[in-house]
Amino acid sequence: MDAPAGHGSGHPARGIDRRLAVVGVAGGLLSGLLGVGGGVIMVPLLVLWAGFAQREAHAFSLGAIIPISAAGVLTFGAAGEVRIAEAVALAAGAIVGARIGTSVLARLGEDPLKLVFGVFLLAVAATMAVRR
């Protein structure tokens, strides 16, 4: 599998890598539709299809959360669906959790990170299948 332009090649990227654009569309589409995107969709696609290391995929998907969230907030906000107090409380908790999570991410090796991520996805899938 070829690495994306500028990824591990020692050469700067030229233009937008098509695989990254496709991963972005998939992540954005499923984020808007299902409320998931970064971790659940983008990380596996970045690792398995675009050739990124697990840690890089996590970092890239975290960076993509801001514009994905902004697009969703604008869309739901225009429809009057954003409850500000609840969103602020959720965001405050998420900021604390993200700081803790990224510090753990920095200390995990690639293999344990893949295992933890895979177990997480399986647990979510099992929970979603059981709860109806």
* pLDDT tens sequence across 28-43: 888 888 887 778 889 9
Alpha carbon distance 90, 33 (integer Å)? 20
Query: Helix, strand or coil for residue 59?
Result: helix
Q: What average pLDDT score do residues 9-36 get?
A: 77
pTM over 0.85: no
Alpha carbon distance 118, 40 (integer Å)? 10
Task: Tell me how many helices (H) and strands (E) the chain has.
Answer: 5, 0
- Both structure tokens of 30: 């499923």
Q: Provide DSSP, 60-112.
A: HHHHHHHHHHHHHHHHHHHTT---HHHHHHHHHHHHHHHHHHHHHHHHS-HHH
Q: Which amino acid is at 27?
A: G
* pLDDT tens sequence across 67-124: 888 888 899 889 888 898 998 999 999 999 999 999 999 999 999 999 999 999 999 8
Cα torsion 127, 33, 91, 104 to 10°: value is 50
Is the pLDDT at 65 greater than 90? The verdict is: no
* Residue 36 CB burial class (10 angstroms; 0-12, 13-18, ≥19): middle
**pLDDT at 13 (0 to 100):** 52
